[in-house]
Structure 1
Amino acid sequence: MKKFVALLGILLLGGSMVFASGSQQGSGTGGGAPLIGIAMPETHVERWQKDGADLKAFAEAKGYRAVVTYGDADQSKQNQQIQDMLTKGAKLLIIGNINEGVISVVADAAREKVPVIAYDRLILGSGDYEYYITFDNFKVGVLQGKALEKALNLASATKDKPKIITLFAGSPTDNNSKMFFDGAMSVLKPYVEKGVLQIVGPAPLSSADTANFTRITTENWRADIAKARMENLLNNDAKNVVLDGILAPNDTLARAIIEACSSDAKYAGGKLPVVTGQDGELASIKYIKDGKQYMTVFKDTRMLAKAAIELADAILKGQTPNIPGARLDTTTYNTGKKAVKSYLLEPVEVTKENYKKIMIDSGYYKASDIE
C-alpha cells in the first residue's frame, strides 16, 4: 500500500509538472518557441491586413510563435494589446503604431528587455528602441512627384499656361506623411517657384510649413475625410478652375478623391485630373487599368514582412542583421530622442503600362482579380 501511495504521488507530481510546462508555453513564458508580438494599426487600409497575415506566416515559418492584433486606429486599444503581448511573454515586438501615445508601452518593453521593431512607421518621441524597417518613403514621394511631372509635361509648361494641381497629405500623426510629401515636393517645388505650376487650396512647399501642411493632412488616412475635403475644394477654391492633377498620398485617399471629382460636371466623361497613389491596392490597380487613377507606388509588403522577420530572427539570435534587398541608414530617421537603425526597401512605380508585370507577374494579384 505504501508503495502504491508513493507511486501515485510521483505520477501526480509528474502530471502537475507537465501541466505547468504546457501552461507556460501557451502564455509564451515557457520553454517552447519564442513568441513574437505583432501590433498593426488598423484594418480599413487594405495593406495592413495583408501585412499582419504575412508577418505571422513568415514568423511561424521561422519556427516562432506569433500573435497579431489590429488597433482600429485607437492608440489606447493598441497599447492594451501590446501590454497583453508582454504579459504573455513576447520576446520581441513588431509595431506599426497609430501615434506617439505608443511610447509608454515601448518603454515598458525596454524595461523588460524586449526588443521593438518599428514597422513602416517611425515611433516618434521614444529613445527606447533601436530598429525601424520600412520602404524608402522619401523616394515614394519622389515617384509621385515625377509622375505628375511627366503626366502634366511640366518641363514644357509656361507661366501663360500653367498647370493647376491641389495637394493632399496623409495622417498628421504618421511621420511617413511628411516623408511622402517632402519627396513629392522636391520634384514639384521648382515648377511652383517658376510659376508654371499653380496650387489651388493650401500650398505648403514642404512639411516644415506646419500651418499649411496641417491643412492638407487627412486624419487617420480616412477616405471619408479626403472625399469631404475634395468636395469642399470643388465647391470653393477649385470651383472656377479645371484641375490638371492631384497629389494624393495613398490609394485609399486617391479613390475617395476621384469619387468626389467624378460627381463634378467639369470632369464628366472620364476627363479626370491626374491622381497619384500608393500601396498597390487592388481597387486602385483596377482604376489604373481603366484610366481613372494615373499611378500608384507599389511597396511589396510581402518583402517588407519577410525582411522584418529576418531582422527579428537576427535580433533574437544575437546576430548582426543582414537583410537582403534593404539598405541600412543610421542617420536619417530620428525619433527626436535618437537616430535609429533603419532598414529601407525600394518602392516601385506602377502605371497602366506596367501594372501587369509588376502586380500580376510577381504573383501579388491574379489576372482574374483585375481583368
Structure 2
Amino acid sequence: MKKILLSSFCLSLILTAGIYGNGQNEGMLDIGLAMPETHVERWQNDGASLVEEATAKGYKAEVAFGDADQSKQNQQIQDFITKGAKLLVIGSVNEGVGSVVSDAAREGIEVIAYDRLIVNSADYDYYITFDNFKVGQFQGKGIVEGLKLDSATQTKYITLFAGSPTDNNANFFFDGAMSVLKPYIESGVLKVVGPAPMSSMDKSNFTKIATENWRADVAKARMENLLNNDAKDVVLDAVLAPNDTLARAIIEACMTDAKYDSTEKLPVVTGQDGEVASVKYIRDGKQYMTVFKDTRQLAKAAILLADAIIKDQTPNIPGARMDTTSYNTGKKVVKSFLLEPIMVTKDNYKKVFIDSGYYSADELQ
C-alpha cells in the first residue's frame, strides 16, 4: 500500500522544530515547502508527500510548518531564501505572507501558492489546488440528499459554519455550498438557525460563522452556545461544517445535548479532507459525508508544476484543469491548476479510501 505516513521521528521534528526534510539543513536548497500548521491532519500528510515527491525527482527539499503563526512562517520562508531555494511552495497562514513572497520575487525565486490563494500579491504566477467551489457544492449536495429536501414536506433546520476568515478557500467552500442550499432556504423548506449569510460577501454575518484558524475548540464552543441559545427550542436537522476537524467538534458538542444523544438523533453534518477519524464517524453514522481531496495527488501535481517551472518548460499536469480567469489575488489573475474532489458517504467510503490504498482496513477499525 502506497500511503504517506509520518514517522514518529518526523512528527517529533514537527512538534519541536516545525521542520523536516531529506537531510539538507545546511547548504543549498532546491525547493522550500511552507505549510501553515499541523493541527489539521491533512497538512502533516501534505508536507510528507511533497518532500517525497520532490526527493523522488532528485531535488533537495525541506518542509516547515508555521503553527498557524504568519510571523513564524515568514521566518521559515526567509530561511529557505537564505539557503538558496530555487522555488517555494507555500500553503500560507494568511495574507501576511505577501512580504516574503515579494522578497522571493526580488531574488528571482518562483512561488507556487499551494491550496490557499495568496491574496493582495502580484509577486507570483501559479496556484495549485482542488476545485474548492465544487467542494462546497458537494457539501450542499450532501445536505440536500441527507435531508431528502427535494421531497420534504416539513421545514428542516440548519445552522452554518465556515472556515478561517484568513483562508480565502473558506469563501469558495461556503459559496459553493450556498449555491446549492440557497434555493431551498428561499423556498422555506430549509430554515437557517443563527447567523444566515447567503454568501461570503456578506462580511458582517460571514464573520459570525467563520472559525478562527480552523480551530476545533472554537467551533465546539460556538456550537455549544448555539445549542443553548438560538437552537434551544428547535431540533437541528443539519449543520454545514466546512471540514472534518470542525465537523467532529460540532458533533461532540451535539452529543452532550439530550436532543442529540444518540447517533440516530444527530443532525446531518458535512465535512472535508477524509480524515481517518471522520471516515470512522461516517461509517458509524455520526457524520454524514466528507469531501476527499487526495493530497497525494495534489503534492504530486505541485512538484510536477515545480519541476516544469524550474526547467522553464510548459506545465502539463495530468488530472488538473488549468484556469486562467477565476483566481484573482486582488492584484492580478494567477494561472491556477485545479484537481477534482470526491464526495464520500457511507455508501462509497470503502471504495474511495480502502480500495484506493489511502487507508488500510486496519486503520479504520
Normalising by structure 2, report the TM-score.
Answer: 0.92
Partner of 2:250: 257
Tell me the amino acid that sits aligned with residue 332 of structure 1: S
Kindly indicate which of the two structures has a greater share of residues assigned to helix: 1
Q: In the alignment, which residue of structure 2 is the partner of 1:288?
A: 282
C-alpha distance in 1, partners of 2:195/2:69? Answer: 28
State the 1:156 CA deviation. Answer: 1.8
Q: Partner of 1:235 in structure 2? A: 228
| Match of residue 27 from structure 1 | 27
Match of 1:77 in 2: 72
Distance in 1 (CA, whole Å) between partners of 2:81 and 2:178 is 41
| 1:125 is the counterpart of 2:130 | no
* 2:347 match: 353
In the alignment, is residue 316 of structure 1 matched against residue 315 of structure 2? no
Match of 1:100 among 95, 104, 113: 95
For each residue in 1:229-287, what CA deviation from the matched residue of structure 2 results, as whole angstroms up to 9, or x when unmatched? 00000000000100000000000000000000000000112210000000000000010
Aligned to 1:49: 44
Pair 1:25–1:143, CA change in 2 (3 A) = closer
Residue 3 of structure 2: aligned partner: none
Aligned residue for 2:337, secondary structure, equals strand
Stretches of structure 2 lacking an aligned partner (at least 5 in a row)? 1-23
Alignment of 1:211-250 (within 5 A): 211-250=204-243
**Cα distance per residue 1:273-302 (max 9 Å; x no partner):** 000000000000010111100000000000
* Separation in 2, partners of 1:328, 1:266: 47
Runs of 4+ in 1 over 2 A off after TM superposition: none
Give me the whole-angstrom Cα distance separating, in 2, the residues matched to 1:269 and 1:117. 45
1:275 corresponds to: 269
Cα distance in 1 for partners of 2:254, 2:304 equals 43
* Partner amino acid, structure 1, of 2:27: S
Equivalent residue letter for 1:226: A
1:198 equivalent among 191, 197, 203: 191
How many Å apart are 1:74 and its aligned residue?
A: 0.2
2:334 to 340, 353, 360: 340
Which SS does the other structure have where 2:336 is aligned?
strand
Whether 1:60 aligns to 2:55 is: yes
Q: Which stretch shifts more, 265-274 or 45-54?
A: 265-274
Instruction: Give the counterpart of 2:143 among 128, 145, 148.
Output: 148
Q: Under a length normalisation based on structure 1, what TM-score does the superposition of the two structures give? A: 0.91
Measure how far apart 1:157 and its partner are.
Answer: 2.5
AA matched with 1:308: A
CA distance in 1, matches of 2:287, 2:25: 49
What is the DSSP-based 3-state SS (H/G/I as helix, E as strand, rest coil) of the residue aligned with 1:38? strand
Please give the alpha-carbon distance, in whole angstroms, between the structure 1 residues aligned to 2:140 and 2:282.
17
Aligned partners of 2:211, 2:330: CA distance in 1, in Å? 23
Provide, for residues 158-205 of structure 1, a one-character-per-residue CA deviation record: whole Å limited to 9, x for no partner: 4xx211000000000000000000000000000111111100000001
CA distance in 1 between counterparts of 2:337 and 2:132 reads 11
User: SS state of the match for residue 27, structure 1?
Assistant: coil
Q: Which amino acid aligns with 1:283?
A: A
Distance, in Å, in 2 between the alignment partners of 1:331 and 1:104 is 24
Question: How far is 1:25 from its partner?
Answer: 10
Deviations 1:291-315 (A, max 9, x none): 1000000000000000000000000
Deviations 1:141-162 (A, max 9, x none): 000000100111111224xx21
Residue 68 and residue 25 in structure 1: after superposition, are their counterparts in 2 closer, same or farther (change >3 A)? closer
Distance 1:49 1:126 in 2: 26
Unaligned runs of 5+ in 1: 1-23, 29-33
Please give the alpha-carbon distance, in whole angstroms, between the structure 2 residues aligned to 1:272 and 1:25.
49
Q: 2: CA distance between counterparts of 1:235 and 1:315?
A: 53
SS for the counterpart of 2:48 is: helix
Q: Secondary structure at the match of 1:319?
A: coil
Amino acid at match of 1:149: V
The aligned residue for residue 17 of structure 1 is none
- RMSD, matched Cα: 1.0
2: CA distance, partners of 1:284 / 1:195: 31
The code of the aligned residue for 1:198 comes to K
Match of 1:325 among 319, 334, 355: 319
